[in-house]
């Protein structure tokens, strides 16, 4: 009872300020809950992004390291190493293309020989004499 009498005796600006304060507290509380929920969902979704970004940064760091090593070697006057994997791969592809071309040429040549193997024989007929 004592509290109700005090609330009734307040002036109109005090009541409006109290209502505004209550709305503000409610809005901040709701916003805090919303931000907490958003932060939770962002944390879950960002875990995948962080993994992807970590992989990307790792590969970028490896590339930067390789470029730095090559630049240092170039400044030191060292010749770059031969790309053996590329050379061997090119040689294997060339050998495969050569084998395929040779097989195709032999197959084409064997068809021509079959035509050359046909012999024509002149037959004399009794009526032609």
The tokens describing 19, both together, are 């209502």
The tokens describing 35, both together, are 């931000």
- Total number of domains in the chain: 1
User: CA-CA distance, 65 to 71, in Å (whole number)?
Assistant: 10
Helix (H) or strand (E) holding 116: helix 84-116
Local confidence pLDDT in tens for the 129 residues of the chain = 455 555 566 788 888 888 888 888 888 878 777 777 777 777 777 776 777 777 767 778 888 888 888 888 888 888 888 889 999 999 999 999 999 999 988 887 776 555 556 677 777 777 755
Q: Which range marks the domain in which residue 86 is found?
A: 2-128
The tokens describing 107, both together, are 């197959």
The tokens describing 14, both together, are 């005090």
Only one residue has tokens 């590339």, namely 63
Only one residue has tokens 């050569």, namely 98
């Amino acid at each position: 009872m004592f509290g109700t009498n005090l609330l009734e005796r307040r002036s109109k600006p005090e009541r409006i300020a109290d209502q505004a304060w209550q709305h503000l507290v409610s809005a901040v509380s709701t916003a805090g809950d919303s931000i907490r929920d958003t932060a939770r969902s962002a944390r879950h979704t960002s875990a995948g992004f962080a993994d992807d970004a970590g992989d990307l940064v790792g590969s970028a760091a490896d590339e930067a390291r390789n470029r730095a090593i090559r630049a240092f070697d170039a400044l030191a006057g060292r010749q770059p190493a031969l790309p053996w994997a590329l050379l061997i791969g090119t040689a294997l592809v060339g050998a495969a293309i050569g084998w395929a071309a040779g097989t195709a040429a032999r197959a084409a040549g064997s068809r021509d020989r079959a035509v050359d193997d046909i012999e024509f024989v002149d037959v004399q007929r009794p009526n032609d004499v």
